[in-house]
Amino acid sequence: MRELIDQTIFDLMETLYLDIAELTFNFYSDAQAIAAIAMLLYFALEAYKMIAGDKTIEIMPLMRPFALALVILLWEPFIEVMNFPIKVVNDTAKTMYSAQIDMVEHGHVERLGLIEQVAKKMSEDTGDFEQVKDETQDKDWMEKLGIDLSPLLDKMKGYYLMLTAQINFAFMRLFEYIVIIIFQFCIYIIFLFQIIFAAILVILGPFSFALSIFPGFRDSYLTWIGRYISVGLYSTIAYIIMTISFVLVRYGQEREIEVLKAVLENEELFIAYVGSSSGHISFYLVSLLMAALAMLCIPVISTWIINTTGVSQAFSSVARTGTGLIK
């Protein structure tokens, strides 16, 4: 796994998000039936009020059910109209992201290459350890001959330390792999939730418009529009967060690349690096973790732009459920 972010997955998710409208026909006829019944009841109630003299004849209020029913009949074009401004904003944010990801991916690959060189050099030193170990198999008879084995034993101790350092280095590489997996998971899960939430809103959206004909659910369609825009902005906010986070990631990459190059050129620095008790936890990994945590805040951030709480509460409930299952 040499890629920090798999662009193919992004392209797949974007295609799925734009093709959601094709899923609406499963409940399309049911929503039309509810809209027809709601319009019939609404007109009957309004006609009764006018006949009883409680209300004067008004034309514009009667146009509202027709407008809502027209949206249901033209649902797919309506979704395309809703997606147009979201896509424009998303493309702008994606352009910002694209300018950063190429440099970050290049630094990621270069850093992995240097780490592999360090690991290769440690393996070579471990091979020397096996040779020294064979030379000490005949320790008893060599001591009887008066041969001083102290330099050889000191060298062997050094190789033991190198072997221990190699084990620690392997654990730290495993930790780095886990951090990258967490980073990718937090990014991909946001885009996946965007697709799931948007699909639910698009599939069941006609019901919100149909129920809006009833006075008790008058603002249901406005709530639906707010939530759909809020979900649509997930990818835009994600690209903005990744663009900002990649500035920190690039800084961490550049500093660590400088260290790795110096370590490979200087034997003393190499020994100090592999034997470091700090565990090689770099700002690069810290910045990836910070970016991953920032991605999980997107459902809340989207409500700052469009004032709606339903989707963020749903995401929080899913997150709490997942945490509970892990525990």
- Distance of CA 306 to CAs 231, 271, 278, Å? 10, 55, 45
Q: Taking the mean position of all CA atoms in its chain, how far away is CA 116?
A: 27
CB 306 within 8 A of CB 229: yes
Looking at residue 237, its pLDDT comes to: 92
Looking at residue 140, its pLDDT comes to: 47
CB 65 within 8 A of CB 42: yes
CB 239 within 8 A of CB 97: yes
Distance between CA atoms of residues 73 and 80, nearest Å: 14
φ and ψ at residue 44, rounded to 5 degrees: -65, -40
Q: What is the mean pLDDT of each run of 10 residues along the chain (327 residues)?
A: 72 75 67 78 74 70 80 85 89 87 84 79 56 45 46 50 65 82 90 88 85 82 89 90 88 84 77 59 81 88 73 51 48
Looking at residue 165, its pLDDT comes to: 63
Residue given tokens 């732009």 in the structure block: 305
Q: What is the pTM of this model?
A: 0.73
Q: 96: closest CA among 198, 226, 243?
A: 243
